[in-house]
Chains A and B, each alone.
Chain A
């Protein structure tokens, strides 16, 4: 049986091959770089009958199209992009079947930011250092360590079991984030922050009623996704999937892992709030 393939026709703003991430290598300076919305990745893979860590495509703000060279089943999770399969509107959080020659089109979403497309069998690219996820900084993983482009032909793996009865729904997504406090946490509360336009997969830069500080830098230390750094401007930076491995800004707190996916769905200009939480026992 020849390998099944899809061809990217329109790659949108940024579409990346992702899995859950590349772990255990941060001491070499290698970030995790997994899906920004890990919850959408889990949901899409479950619907498509894939193992949770199968490689999928994470698409920023829709505007994406691909054609199927062979029949395949797939599911979309995360932002609803009014997807169309051969011109027919299809739902997110459902399993769909495409035929050879079918065409899938995603439009710009009316809300949210990122959509995960999981295809049965997963995207078959060679793992690099234990993961298929794209690392734009190290130029590795995915296809040559870069975002997808029109014309890219992606091979699908062997589909596992045919999924039946899997139900996933779009989770509610307010932009209120539970934070475990660090020394400068008081500067986070009781105000709205706006997602700044320089925000990306490395970090979300927030704008708002910030108090500058003159604490300068601290000694470099390891940092991880979810950490909220406070540069001297006082405007928080929340580290995301592609965060660098070390940093020297003081910490205000850490967004809990359960909430971080929501930030991946907050578009530029979104207003967000932080609330204090305590460690579950």
Chain B
């Protein structure tokens, strides 16, 4: 049996509990994802948000005592969370380079690769949504080829167009809305990552797998 480690439970501020895992393997992530889904249905839980190997919940402190909620959370964690999150596989068509990916050439140069190689390596990966944050519907995608891993741009852009496909560090991501941003833009997709009129509003959720398909 793989080690789940011993998670730390900590109260932060008045109304937040963070469950932080020392281990970060796939089983730990799976357990966090399913636990988040389970506790979102609990009474008096206002938010349950996945981070990088951790889970935070916000509770209504006027309706439930911290100690009771914490012990319920510990029990749910050791029980193994709720249903397994199977995740979906979502194909994202990407136009790489040119106006769609203004940083492609610079990324190729920084990585010592040809532009075609960057595209091939990026499109070959199978990515997993680790967590969603930063912007509405912005999914942090694990699985970027180590040959494409670069620090963020020294100078963030003040405006990155919605649909921009980007890389930074060990991750890839897609900007869901026009916003400032510091990742390297290598392509663009017409997929709508965030639509408040859709249920759920975010296209990608933790546990989903993403494949990029060159358009």
Q: Interface on A for B, CB 8 Å cutoff?
A: 23-31, 128-129, 135, 137-140, 180, 182, 219-222, 224, 226-227, 244-246, 251, 254, 256-257, 279
Q: Considering the chains assembled together, what is the distance between the CA atoms of A221 and B12 in angstroms? A: 12
Tell me how far the C-beta of B53 lies from the nearest C-beta in chain A, rounded to whole angstroms. 6
Contacts A140-B196, A246-B51 aside, 10 further interface pairs with beta carbons under 8 A come to A26-B49, A27-B206, A28-B136, A29-B194, A180-B14, A220-B51, A222-B18, A246-B49, A246-B134, A257-B13
Which residues from A are CB-within-8-Å of B18?
Answer: 221-222
Given A30-B201, A138-B196, decide whether A24 and B46 contact each other with a Cβ distance below 8 A: yes
Chain B positions 113 through 144: 1 when the CB is less than 8 Å from some CB of chain A, otherwise 0: 00000000000000000011111111010000
CB-based contact A222/B135 at 8 Å: no
Q: Which single member of B11, B51, B201, B202 contacts A222 (CB below 8 Å)?
A: B51
> In chain B, what residue has the closest Cβ to A248?
B52
Tell me how far the C-beta of B213 lies from the nearest C-beta in chain A, rounded to whole angstroms. 24
Which residues from B are CB-within-8-Å of A30?
Answer: 136, 201
CB-based contact A257/B15 at 8 Å: yes
Which residues from A are CB-within-8-Å of B137?
Answer: 28-29
Q: Considering the chains assembled together, what is the distance between the CA atoms of A182 and B18 in angstroms? A: 13
Which residues from B are CB-within-8-Å of A245?
Answer: 49, 132-134
Q: Which single member of A29, A219, A279 contacts B134 (CB below 8 Å)?
A: A29
Given A29-B194, A129-B196, A221-B18, decide whether A137 and B12 contact each other with a Cβ distance below 8 A: no
CB-based contact A227/B13 at 8 Å: yes
Which residues from A are CB-within-8-Å of B36?
Answer: 27
21 A-B pairs in the complex with CB atoms less than 8 angstroms apart: A23-B47, A24-B40, A27-B47, A27-B49, A27-B50, A29-B136, A30-B201, A31-B136, A138-B194, A138-B196, A139-B178, A219-B51, A221-B52, A222-B47, A222-B51, A222-B56, A244-B134, A246-B49, A246-B51, A256-B13, A256-B14
Which residues from A are CB-within-8-Å of B194?
Answer: 28-29, 138
Q: Considering the chains assembled together, what is the distance between the CA atoms of A89 and B132 in angstroms? A: 49
Q: Considering the chains assembled together, what is the distance between the CA atoms of A224 and B46 in angstroms? A: 12
CB-based contact B196/A128 at 8 Å: yes
CB-based contact A224/B58 at 8 Å: yes
Q: For chain A, what secondary structure do more than half of its interface residues adopt (helix, strand, loop), or is it mixed?
A: loop
Q: Is B189 close to A, CB under 8 A?
A: no
Q: Considering the chains assembled together, what is the distance between the CA atoms of A162 and B18 in angstroms? A: 44
> In chain A, what residue has the closest Cβ to B15?
A257
Q: Interface on B for A, CB 8 Å cutoff?
A: 11-16, 18, 20, 36, 40, 46-54, 56, 58, 131-138, 140, 176-179, 194, 196-197, 200-202, 205-206
Tell me how far the C-beta of A6 lies from the nearest C-beta in chain B, rounded to whole angstroms. 25
Tell me how far the C-beta of B72 lies from the nearest C-beta in chain A, rounded to whole angstroms. 19
Q: Considering the chains assembled together, what is the distance between the CA atoms of A90 and B154 in angstroms? A: 51
CB-based contact A254/B196 at 8 Å: no
CB-based contact A139/B47 at 8 Å: no
Tell me how far the C-beta of B137 lies from the nearest C-beta in chain A, rounded to whole angstroms. 5
Q: Considering the chains assembled together, what is the distance between the CA atoms of A128 and B11 in angstroms? A: 31
Tell which of A24, A28, A227, A279 has the most Cβ of chain B within 10 Å: A28
> In chain A, what residue has the closest Cβ to B206?
A27
Which residues from B are CB-within-8-Å of A28?
Answer: 132, 136-137, 194, 200-202, 205
Which residues from A are CB-within-8-Å of B136?
Answer: 28-31, 135, 137-138
Q: Which single member of A26, A128, A140 contacts B47 (CB below 8 Å)?
A: A26
Tell me how far the C-beta of B87 lies from the nearest C-beta in chain A, rounded to whole angstroms. 15
Q: Considering the chains assembled together, what is the distance between the CA atoms of A256 and B135 in angstroms? A: 25
Q: Considering the chains assembled together, what is the distance between the CA atoms of A129 and B197 in angstroms? A: 8
CB-based contact A27/B48 at 8 Å: yes
Which residues from A are CB-within-8-Å of B47?
Answer: 23-24, 26-27, 222, 224
CB-based contact A254/B14 at 8 Å: yes
Q: Considering the chains assembled together, what is the distance between the CA atoms of A138 and B193 in angstroms? A: 11
Given A137-B177, A140-B196, A222-B51, decide whether A29 and B135 contact each other with a Cβ distance below 8 A: yes
CB-based contact B12/A244 at 8 Å: no
> In chain A, what residue has the closest Cβ to B199?
A129
Which residues from A are CB-within-8-Å of B58?
Answer: 26, 224
Q: Considering the chains assembled together, what is the distance between the CA atoms of A31 and B49 in angstroms? A: 12
Tell me how far the C-beta of A179 lies from the nearest C-beta in chain B, rounded to whole angstroms. 9
Q: Considering the chains assembled together, what is the distance between the CA atoms of A221 and B52 in angstroms? A: 6
Q: Considering the chains assembled together, what is the distance between the CA atoms of A139 and B200 in angstroms? A: 17
Given A27-B36, A28-B137, A29-B135, decide whether A139 and B177 contact each other with a Cβ distance below 8 A: yes
CB-based contact A220/B131 at 8 Å: yes
CB-based contact B54/A221 at 8 Å: yes
